[in-house]
Amino acid sequence: MRQLLSSLLLLTITACAAAMPTSVASLLDRVGGSGTAKRFEVEIKAYNTDGYETFTISASNGKPCITATSLSAATAGIGYYLNHYARINISWNQLTADIAHADLPLPSEAETHTCEVPLRYYLNYCTFSYSMAVWTWERWQQEIDWMALHGVNMPLQVVGLDAAWRTLLTRHYGYTEEEVNEFVAGPAFQAWWAMNNLEGWGGPNPAWWYDRQQLLAQRIVQRERELGMSPVLPGFSGMVPSSFERCATTLPQGTWCGFQRPHILDPNSETFATMAAQYYAVMDSLYGAAAFYSIDPFHEGANISGIDVPAAYHSIDQTLQQAHPEARWVIQYWQWQQRQYEVLRQVPHGRLIVLDLFADANPHWSEFEGHDVVYCMLHNFGGRTGFYGRMPQTIERYAEVRDNAPSLCGVGATPEAIETVPAVYDLLYELPWIGATDAASWLREYVHCRYGKADASAIAAWELLLGSALDCRSKLQGPVEAVTCARPRWHIDRVSTWGGTTIFYNDSLVAQAAELLRQANLSGANYSYDLTDLTRQAITDRAYRLMAEIERSANPAAGVDCPKALQDSLKSIILSLNRMLQSQPLFTLDRWLSMAGSIANEAVSDGLLPAESLASAREWLQLNALTLITTWGPRAASERGGLHDYSYRQWAGMLKDFYLPRWQLFFDTPLNLRDSIDWFEYESEVVKRMIRTQP
């Protein structure tokens, strides 16, 4: 992997001398406020580190000085300095800080860190829906800055794929805008369209939407490249609309959770090669050529009967190489069928990078036959709210793959959604710079970084968490689920189809941790957020115990309901959570809907959307955003496909306006009729009422 990096020449770093790169200066001023860049010295130097990126933190001219071998190493060094010297932790709950006026300690001696891997990957297709579907350019800029400070140099970038397909289909295959919209999904569901799982759901998309996506994508890739990142763009897998059979021989791929999948082209056909060349030409013209292309054919159980699977992988590789001979194919390992392992034999070594997507819980890196592998942490599923992690295991499994897999080329975070439990991401992206560390020691230092001082009570709280909620050892997909957010029924063992409500830790330790953190002599945005999150988790765990008591007290078959006092206790917990969470924007429905509506405002400002269409556009965007976190799909997908509540959010607003009324309806319905409630119909009507008609 060393050949991936530039050859490095000089032997040592002494002091910063050259001018700070403009992109780094702009980053500092965005994150820290105007004037922050003038308080630092940053220089990119080439020097011998045996082929790996390095940053050194020192003092020069009375300022903190970061000298590094690449832009990405420099920004990672800035992030390290902010955390470990200035004690300023940039996090999703605090994406900017007043660094322009903060105390910036000078290192007493130089501190150097060399990264153990060349690639630091970030994101999952699902993140672009479960978190990013409601983002404007303003929020995207903050996330790219967060990436830079965490050393990310290989971010997935899916935004704008819809605009590329519109161009491809209308320019080369005679599709109308209406026909394109039958294929392309709406704003909140593009992740699964891009992964060949569904067509059209959430649309139709108006013309301004495609123009907006194209502009946004161009802004994103430009900024990422300015900061030394190599965006991973979607490659051509052979996916085509199911209606494309009028143009060429196509092969159906069945259904996914009740949705019809797009078709795939016959990999041996001339059309496959022709369309691939056209696809890459369109992508290049819109977003520039990339060093990495993400391609995931046959994702999550696609029907591959009748498909020449080896030929498909060979065609995908060959058409990518013809378009971009130096590019690498990036593929996710996720629930592969046996024949999907054929990709390992059809693509030469050095051209394929396998993301071991859930390696922190369920590693498969030993199965990849020597192909380059990225060790990935898949922390969140569906954006579901909950405090948990695998801190000790994340470190242990990173050390295992580092020491035993010569083909390890990177680490990555691949969450389905972000903006939860920032500590686990801070740990992951520090690991390759500091090496496998002791979780307890790292957390003690993290408390100091996170809150600005090493408060004994806060340290004790996090130590309890490390021995409980942050030490998941199972393959649980996402956090312990909140019974308050479940569709009401007597026995609740899960909220989403693939999750679970059983608490894997000693919940009394989480309650004690919340109380210890409350007692800490601390203040600030990070402290307030963490205290809210831990208190929320402790109360949610109490609701789990209450729900078990409700279940034990009732005997529906004998006509015995649970006592009203227990019903009232559950409703009281839901309302208490709703009141508490209102203080933190990341835990509110208002923020989610406001951001969705702001996309339309931004489109008006960019001259893409007429002002008279603003109200209807905002309502459409909010309907997408609300559907995603409630019913998810139409009846077949929501019910038989099991997608309802997959993306539940324990947020203020959702608790009061969606989850509490569900429980109220359940308890108010006669005992013998509760099993016959049409929850999908009820929830669909509630969602319509939740749309904000005013900005």
Amino acid at 407: S
Amino acid occupying residue 658: F
- Residue 693, pLDDT score: 80
Of the pLDDT bands very low, low, confident and very high (cuts 50, 70, 90), residue 3 is very low
Query: Given a cut of 50, is residue 11 above it in pLDDT?
Result: no
Query: What is the tens place of the pLDDT at every residue in 285-334?
Result: 999 999 999 999 999 988 888 899 999 999 999 999 999 999 999 999 99
Phi-psi group of 478: left, alpha or beta (phi > 0 → left; psi -120 to 50 → alpha; rest → beta): left
Mean of all residue pLDDT scores within the chain: 95
Two tokens at 5?
């990096």
**C-alpha 655 chain-centroid distance:** 23
What does the alpha-carbon distance between residue 646 and residue 641 come to, in Å, rounded to a whole number? 11
Q: What are the tokens at 137?
A: 């350019």
Whether the CA torsion 533, 536, 538, 540 is positive or negative: it is negative
What are the pLDDT digits (tens) for 549-565? Answer: 999 999 999 999 999 99
* Type of residue found at 560: V
Question: CA 659 to CA 649: how far, in whole Å?
Answer: 10
Q: What is the secondary structure of 556-620 as a DSSP string?
A: GGGTBPPPHHHHHHHHHHHHHHHHHHTT-GGGBHHHHHHHHHHHHHHHHHTTSS-GGGHHHHHHH
Distance set, CA 378 to CA 54, 355, 417, 440, 510 (Å)? 26, 11, 9, 21, 22
Distance of CA 494 to the CA centre of its chain: 22
The 10s digit of each residue's pLDDT in 639-679 is 999 999 999 999 999 999 999 999 999 999 999 999 999 99
Q: What pLDDT score was predicted for residue 18?
A: 74
User: Rounded to an integer, what distance in angstroms lies between the CA atom of residue 18 and that of residue 42?
Assistant: 8
Classify residue 380 by its DSSP letter: -
On the question of pLDDT at 595 being above 60, the answer is yes
Lowest mean pLDDT among 40-54, 104-118, 477-491: 40-54
pLDDT of residue 306: 86
Question: In the chain, pLDDT over 70 holds for what percent of residues?
Answer: 97
Of the pLDDT bands very low, low, confident and very high (cuts 50, 70, 90), residue 15 is low
Cβ–Cβ < 8 Å for 242, 263: yes
Helix (H, G, I), strand (E, B) or coil at 434: helix
Residue type, 682: Y
Taking the CA atoms of residue 529, residue 530, residue 531 and residue 532 in that order, the dihedral angle to the nearest 10 degrees is 50
pLDDT band at 49 (very low <50, low <70, confident <90, very high): low
CB atoms within 10 A of CB 683: 21
Q: Report the alpha-carbon distance of residue 80 to residue 65 in Å, rounded.
A: 12
Q: At what angle do helices 207-226 and 137-149 cross, to 10 degrees?
A: 30
Q: 3-state class of 153 per DSSP?
A: coil
Region at 581 (left for phi over 0; alpha for psi -120 to 50; beta for the rest): alpha
- Note the pLDDT of residue 6: 33
- Overall average pLDDT of the 228-257 stretch: 96
Residue 525 has pLDDT above 70, yes or no: yes
Q: CB within 8 A of 237, min separation 6: which ones?
A: 196, 264, 295, 296, 297, 316
Averaged pLDDT, 127-150: 98
- HEC profile of 254-318: CEECCEECCEEECCCCHHHHHHHHHHHHHHHHHHCCCCEEECCCCCCCCCCCCCCHHHHHHHHHH
For the ranges 303-312, 393-402, 525-534, 536-545, which has the lowest average pLDDT? 303-312
Q: What is the layout of strands, in order, in the sheet containing 292-294? A: 154-155, 119-122, 408-413, 372-377, 352-356, 328-333, 292-294, 232-234
Whole-angstrom distance, CA of residue 629 vs CA of residue 460: 35
* CA–CA–CA angle 582, 587, 589 (5° rounding): 80
Kindly tell me if the per-residue pLDDT of 4 is higher than 80: no
Q: How many Å apart are CA 329 and CA 433, to the nearest integer? A: 25
Q: Which pLDDT tens digit goes with each residue over 417-476?
A: 999 999 999 999 999 999 989 999 999 999 999 999 999 999 999 999 999 999 999 999
How many CB atoms are located within 10 Å of the residue 342 CB?
Answer: 19
Cα angle: 362, vertex 497, 578; to 5 degrees: 105
Structural contact between residues 121 and 150, judged by C-beta atoms closer than 8 angstroms: no
- pLDDT per position as a tens digit, 159-188: 999 999 999 999 999 999 999 999 999 999
Q: What is the pLDDT of residue 9?
A: 25
> Which of helix, strand or coil describes residue 156?
strand
